[in-house]
Structure 1
Amino acid sequence: MSVTLFIEQLINGLQLGTMLFLMASGLTLVFGVMGLINLAHGSFYMVGAYATALATAATGSFFTGLVAGVLVAAAVGALVELIVIRRLYHRPHLDQVLATFALILIFSEGTRWLFGSSPLWLSPPQSLTGFVTLPGGARYPLYRLVIIGVGIAVAIGLYLLISRTRLGMRIRAGESDREMIGALGVNIARLYTLVFAMGAALAGLAGAMVGALQSVQVGMGEPVLILAFVVIVIGGIGSIKGALFGAVLVGVVDTLGRVFLPALFRNFMSPSEAAGVGAALAAMLIYILMAVILAFKPKGLFAANG
């Protein structure tokens, strides 16, 4: 294993981790403030990717498409909260799971009906298609580094929003005692709509950014949603800091495992056996990591109430 390859895959893991943070931060924010299990969060990831691809094709500007994707995801999130989610806050978690799973089907089939089953293609802007030279001489795509930078900027922005602003104070109070802030005159319904739209916008931003690295297609948010749930369980449900650390940990472990485990097993297995065993173990690695962490920290690394 060369140092250059390790550095390259480590950066790939950071890029996956920052994308997962964008997903998981919105998911954990919604659960922490509203106590809602939202399986449809991956659908907003898909909405952001589709809106970005369509707006970019119409305007010829990726950055215009990116803004459109985030705004459309936020607007769709607010609409879903007003029409569906608002009726689920005081219902059991099983009702929330069933209702938001139904939303997944509605979004998927509605998208397929509107745009067909063929994938859309989205390319990063010309200004971000270059490469950066890594130590050792390897070239790394600039756009992937931009995704990492966007994730870091969002993490800093969320920290400042939640810790330094009046809205953040209300969000923290909503996590602790929603009845009390309601009694103090805060419009709980409006706060919930805003938080849900914010979470949807973060998911839409993730979908818009990653849509330029892969095809934009129906159902693209569901695999990412599973990883996002792993992230918030590892990091601590309701904790933004936990979402950041958990996302980076999952991204790095998953990426390095998929690349290096098959190579490791080739030292004492045939190449075909090593590829099969290594790929199978790599697919389980983040779940093994989650089980180990929960064995010692049942509430996650940074429990929101801790």
Structure 2
Amino acid sequence: MTLPLFIEQTLNGVQFGVMLFLMAAGLTLIFGVMGLINLAHGALYMVGAFAAAATAAATGSFILALAASVVFAAFAGVLVETLIIRRLYGRDHLDQVLATFALVLIFAEGTRWVFGSFPLFLDKPDWLSGTVMLPFGIEYSLYRLAIILVGLVVAAGLFWLIGRTRVGMQIRAGENDREMIAALGVNISRLYTLVFALGAGLAGFAGALIGAIQSVQVGMGDSVLILAFVVIVIGGIGSIKGAFVGALLVGLTDTLGRQLLPMFFALFMEPAAATSTGASLASMAIYLLMAAVLILRPKGLFGGA
């Protein structure tokens, strides 16, 4: 692998990791503060993507499409938390899994009823199309680079919100002792709704960003949700820093593994066999990474930190 190709694939891995962080950050906040296993988080990712595609088609504005993805996903999150999730606090995790899985089916069929079964397409704006020239003669997608930059800005804002604001202090306190902050006068129901809306908005924003690369279709958040769970297990449940580091590790492991493993096995096998073996192991690489982290740190890299 040449140096330019390695750098390009590394950037692809960072872009994938940033997108996973937007998903995993909300998921880890929801579980850390509320103790809730939310399988419907991927459906909110899908809601954001469909809201962006529909808004872009109606207005022609990509910026409005991104804003709509956050607003509609956060609004859907508030409705879900207020009407359904609020009744699951303190219930067994099995009840939470069954209820949120039912929400996945409801969102999927509702989206199919509104938009149909065919995928939608969210076009990149002209000012984000094309490539940009990077050092070492690398031509890289301007849109993918923009995803990295925007994702890092959102990550910095989230770190500031959690670490430097009064709301962040309440969220961090809620992770440690929900009963105590309620006794101190914090409106715990409002805090839960805020956290759920924040997580939903981040998921919807991630769906909109990726919707301009892939097609927008029903069920598009399911596979991303699985990877988001892997991220928070690696990083440590309830840790934003862990979600960020875990997302980058997963993104780089998945992207570079798909490139490097077939090349490695090509040294010992026929090209066809090397490609097949490398691709198979590459799809397992992130789960092997998760297993290795859990062996060394059962609570994740930053769990309990």
TM-score (norm 2): 0.99
* Equivalent residue, structure 1, for 2:32: 32
* Equivalent residue, structure 1, for 2:285: 285
* Equivalent residue, structure 2, for 1:200: 200
Give the secondary structure class of the aligned counterpart of 2:136.
coil
* Equivalent residue, structure 1, for 2:103: 103
Q: CA deviation at 1:134?
A: 2.7
1:236-278: CA deviation from partner (whole Å, max 9, x where unpaired): 0000000000000000010000112112211211121111111
TM-score (norm 1): 0.98
Give the secondary structure class of the aligned counterpart of 1:38.
coil
After TM superposition, the structure 1 = structure 2 runs for residues 135-284 of structure 1, keeping only pairs within 5 Å, are 135-284=135-284
- The whole-number CA distance in structure 1 between the counterparts of 2:177 and 2:150 is 32
Q: CA deviation at 1:177?
A: 1.0
1:180-213: CA deviation from partner (whole Å, max 9, x where unpaired): 1111111111110110000000000000100000
- Out of 127-136 and 165-174, give the one that drifted further: 127-136
Give the secondary structure class of the aligned counterpart of 1:133.
strand
Give the secondary structure class of the aligned counterpart of 2:137.
coil
- The whole-number CA distance in structure 1 between the counterparts of 2:134 and 2:255 is 18
* Equivalent residue, structure 1, for 2:130: 130
1:54-80: CA deviation from partner (whole Å, max 9, x where unpaired): 001100101011101110000000000
Moved over 3 A (4+): none
Give the secondary structure class of the aligned counterpart of 1:136.
helix
- The whole-number CA distance in structure 1 between the counterparts of 2:4 and 2:169 is 44
- Out of 235-244 and 131-140, give the one that drifted further: 131-140
- The whole-number CA distance in structure 1 between the counterparts of 2:87 and 2:14 is 38
- The whole-number CA distance in structure 2 between the counterparts of 1:245 and 1:38 is 21
* Equivalent residue, structure 2, for 1:43: 43
- The whole-number CA distance in structure 1 between the counterparts of 2:258 and 2:227 is 15
Gaps of 5+ in 2: none
Which residue identity is paired with 2:209? M
1:148-178: CA deviation from partner (whole Å, max 9, x where unpaired): 1111111111111111111111111111111
Q: CA deviation at 1:113?
A: 1.4
- The whole-number CA distance in structure 1 between the counterparts of 2:172 and 2:275 is 47
- Out of 259-268 and 114-123, give the one that drifted further: 259-268
- The whole-number CA distance in structure 2 between the counterparts of 1:135 and 1:186 is 51
Q: CA deviation at 1:136?
A: 2.9
Determine if contact 1:4/1:134 at 8 Å carries over to the other structure. Answer: no
- The whole-number CA distance in structure 2 between the counterparts of 1:289 and 1:68 is 36
Q: CA deviation at 1:115?
A: 1.0
Q: CA deviation at 1:219?
A: 0.3
* Equivalent residue, structure 1, for 2:90: 90
Q: CA deviation at 1:83?
A: 0.8
Give the secondary structure class of the aligned counterpart of 1:39.
coil
What's the % identity of the aligned pairs?
68
1:4-49: CA deviation from partner (whole Å, max 9, x where unpaired): 0000000000000000000000000100110000011000100000
Determine if contact 1:33/1:238 at 8 Å carries over to the other structure. Answer: yes
After superposition, the CA RMSD in angstroms is: 0.8
Determine if contact 1:43/1:107 at 8 Å carries over to the other structure. Answer: yes
- The whole-number CA distance in structure 2 between the counterparts of 1:159 and 1:136 is 33
* Equivalent residue, structure 1, for 2:296: 296
- The whole-number CA distance in structure 2 between the counterparts of 1:196 and 1:214 is 26
Q: CA deviation at 1:135?
A: 2.9
Which residue identity is paired with 1:284? M
Q: CA deviation at 1:130?
A: 2.7
- The whole-number CA distance in structure 2 between the counterparts of 1:54 and 1:115 is 9
1:265-296: CA deviation from partner (whole Å, max 9, x where unpaired): 11211121111111110000000011011101
Give the secondary structure class of the aligned counterpart of 1:160.
helix
How many aligned positions are there? Answer: 305
Give the secondary structure class of the aligned counterpart of 1:283.
helix
Which residue identity is paired with 1:65? A
